[in-house]
Structures are given as C-alpha cells and as structure tokens.
Amino acid sequence: MADEEDHGIVEEWRGAVCNGAETAADLRRPLVEGSGFREQHRDEGTGILGVPAASSSRSMTKKARLASLDVFRGLSIAIMILVDQAGGKWPSINHSPWNGVTLADFVMPFFLFIVGVALALTYQRIGDKKMATQKAVGRVLNLCILGIILQGGYFHGLSDLTYGVDVQRIRWCGILQRIAFAFLLVALCEIWALRGPCHNIPEGTLEICKVYYVHWVVAAAIVVTYLALLYGVNVPDWEFLPPSLPSNSTLIQASSALTVKCGVRGDVGPACNVVGYLDRNLLGINHLYQHPVYQRTPDCSMKSPDYGPLPPGAPNWCRAPFDPEGILSSLSAVISCFIGLHFGHVLVHHKDHYSRVWHWFWPSLGLLTVGLTLHLFGMRFNKPLYSFSYVCFMGGAAGLVLTGFYLLVDVHGCKLPTVLLEWMGTNALLMFTLVASDVFPAVLQGFYWGSPDNNLVAITGKVFEDLLPSPKQAELASVLSEIFTWSLVAGVLHRMGLHWRL
C-alpha cells in the first residue's frame, strides 16, 4: 500500500549491491539498460508500502519509476476499497470467515510483497548503514502511530459522528502496524546482513539465493518458529468478558465471564489456536479486534457468510475478540515481504526482460503449487492465522500479477488500460487514509441538513439506489464510482508532483 519515489531504478551499479563494493567496470555498467522506464527525479520519502532512500545525498539522483509496481500497488488499494465498502452487501468478496480465500484475502499479502520489492530497489546502495537504520526505524514509528489513529478505535465509523477511544480498549494492532513490522525486519536484514559474491552472477535460478543466503536463513528461521509455536504450544482454557459489558466491575466479571474450553495443542480453529492465545496474554483481550471474521461462520451467524444473529447454542468463543493482525500471524506475514524482496533482487541483478520474467514466473508457479498442495493435504489457507500454505499461495499469486503487469506496462509500454491504477499507486498512502479508512467520508458526513442522516454521503448512496434495481448493485456501483473518482484525484495530484509520504 505505499507509494514512494525511492523504488525507481536507473543508473544504479551492480557493484553497489555487494556491501558497497565497486569496480571501474561496474561504474560504467547501468543496472537497467534499454528498459524504456520513464525517468523521474527521485525524492526523499515513503508511503504505506514505501521505503526510504538509503542516503539523502542521492535525493536528486535521476531515477526511472517501475510503473508496473505502481500499477500493482494501485490495484491493491482499489481491491481494498472495494471489499471493505462493498463486502457487507457482497459477502462472497469479503474476507473468508475462517479457512479459504476470497478476493479480500489477497490484499494484505500483495501489500507486503510490494514492500519487499521496493526494499530491494531502495537498498541497492547503502552509504551510512546507521543512518539508513535510523530512517527505517523513524518511518516504522510513523506508520505505527498513524495505524493506531486510523484503526485503534478513535474513529467510530460512518454510522457514528462521534470520535475518541478508551485507552483501556485501544487496539494496538492493525494493517499499518503489520506492514511496519515486516518492513522493519526485512529492511534491517537488507541493510546489515552479509552477502555472498555478487559480481557476474550466473543465470541459474538459485544463484541470487546464494548471494542473499543470510536473508533466506532468517526467513527459514521465522517459518520454523511460527510453525513450532502454532502446532507445539498447549492452549489452556480461557475466560473473557463479552465486549458489551463494562470491564471495570469485578462483580460483573465474576458473574458474566464466559469460558472457552481448550486444553489442546496444535488446534487451528477459531477458539483454541495459539495465535489468539498469545495475543490475549501479551496484548490483553480488551485490545484486540472486537468483530473478528469468524463471527460470520455458520457456528456464529444465522446469516453466514455474513454477520448476523447468533444461532441457538452458539459456542462462547463466537462473542470473543480476535485480532487478524496479531503478533504471531504478523511474524508469518514477514515471509510475504521476503518473497517480494527476492523478486526485487531479481530485478536488480538481471538486466534483460526475458531473464527477469523467467526468474519471476517459475518461482511464482512453484509457490502456487506448494501452497495449493499444503492446502489440499490439510494445512488450510487461513488469512487470520496467516498459515504457511496461505503465504506460499499468495506469494505465487503476487509474483504472477507483478510479472503480468511488468510485461504489459514496462516491456510493451501499454499504460493506458492501467493508468488509473498507476495514479492510485503513486499516492497510495493518501488513498488508504482518506478512502480505505473512511476518513474523508466520515468528515464529509459531519456536514448535514437538519438530520445527521441527511448528508452528502447518504444522498449519493440513495441516488444509486434509485437508479439501480437492487441494493447490492447500487452499493457496487457506488463503490466503483468512488474508486474511479479518487483515481482521478490521485492522477491530478501526481501530475502536480504532490505525494503524501511519511
């Protein structure tokens, strides 16, 4: 989800990738030759999926944007807006209630993948590693603060004109916080990890992996740690107070606390998984997301796969909070960023289009195959747990999407069909904050005539309802028109050189 000028790639030298080592021949050899990339001046900054420049002294180095990455980022933002705002009327595109994948479940892995690609392009040359680290940490803190403001409970949604949050119930985790966590780990690895010899890398598929062997060791350690905790930790019985009740009364807590029976190891269901167990104990149950997707399962909703009334005899855990961007699942999500980092390394080290596409397509197909095989043999796709099968499958899907956009936009120069997505991608942080997080509609509906229900946002929705035969079609048309309108706004801002970055 982030925009940055820093992912441009022109006139970078191969030798700079190898811990700053350069040769005279390297300094005469441009990294990208004949790519047809559009040149721009690079500026300092970052966005939601963006990464900082490695050195401020290079802020005016002439760069060329990788347009396909902007398009990919814009597509991810557009999908997020679509599923967040139309998912209520169209549950089939909303997040899967538990196992399985829907359109909404592609968004987070795509964002993290894009972060990884951008990091590889940003840290081709690192002058002062301590300064680069300080900038990375600073941007991580900014993202976390913005994420807490947007998703911590401060804004109460479009149906409520009030704002403010009880610090005893503030939500610490969220989309930007997960992206910041992955960004930090992968950026530190890219800045500080030792690398193997990288001059004249052969064309073999595994040769780049040998150069960045430390990165793969770290990624493997994360996978092993995640799987060991997910399947090896015993989850005991636990109690919680329903969110509708106050949390400051000992008497109420004693009489109304609900118990969830577990005492199991390796459970990957909604009630007794170790992801929720760690979050409840480390973050506190009051600081978790209060409307988890499993409340749309048949066990918890009479309108499944949509939210609805609890069915008779619904288990207690249906009323419990659960954070989809929790601690352990975010650790697993870092792998999506490492996968994107590898694709960025391919872009850095391979100069011709055919070689890049070759080294993108086959790993993508392999990841898809591994992910699907694991899913079929019992390790289900699961976005709330960020299962390893889900990581592999989504990494492969992201690789294929990037490959397709690269061929269409950067190789063949066919930009017209994707120009709206490209514009959104160049100002993704603004689009995420104002549109995907409902900040702009929330501000806009604060101005009304006579009654709070009589505002411009509601009037716009009624116009589509009058024009179309069903509420579902009206909602879809309204959201698509909103995406189109904001893509034009992003285009105007891009033409003016205005980009919001942290």
Neighbours of 331 (CB within 10 A): 21
Distance CA 272, CA 287 (A): 18
Distance CA 19, CA 22 (A): 9
* 251 burial via Cβ count (<10 Å: 0-12, 13-18, 19+): exposed
Q: For each of the chain's 502 residues, which pLDDT tens digit applies?
A: 444 444 444 333 344 445 443 333 332 233 333 333 333 333 333 444 443 433 333 333 345 678 999 999 999 999 999 999 998 889 889 999 999 999 999 999 999 999 999 999 999 888 889 999 999 999 999 999 999 999 888 876 777 777 788 888 899 999 999 999 999 999 999 999 877 665 556 666 677 888 899 999 999 999 999 999 999 999 999 999 887 655 444 444 555 789 999 999 999 999 999 999 999 999 999 999 999 999 999 999 999 988 899 999 999 999 999 999 999 999 999 999 999 999 999 999 888 899 999 999 999 999 999 999 999 999 999 999 999 999 999 999 999 999 999 999 999 999 999 999 999 999 999 999 998 888 888 888 888 888 777 888 888 888 888 888 888 999 999 999 999 999 999 999 999 988 888 7
**Whose CA is closest to 151, among 47, 282, 287?**
287
> pTM here?
0.87
Neighbours of 98 (CB within 10 A): 22
Structure tokens at 31: 């990294």
Return the amino acid letter for 455. Answer: N
Phi and psi at 234, nearest 5°, equal: -80, 130
> Which residues share a beta bridge with 179?
none
The answer to whether 122 touches 51, Cβ cutoff 8 Å, is yes
Residues in Cβ contact with 283 at an 8 Å cutoff, skipping those fewer than 6 apart: 172, 173, 323, 326, 327
Distance CA 6, CA 47 (A): 10
Distance CA 245, CA 247 (A): 6
Return the amino acid letter for 407. Answer: L
Structure tokens at 251: 């008497």
The answer to whether 482 touches 435, Cβ cutoff 8 Å, is yes
End-to-end CA distance of the chain: 13
The answer to whether 404 touches 414, Cβ cutoff 8 Å, is no
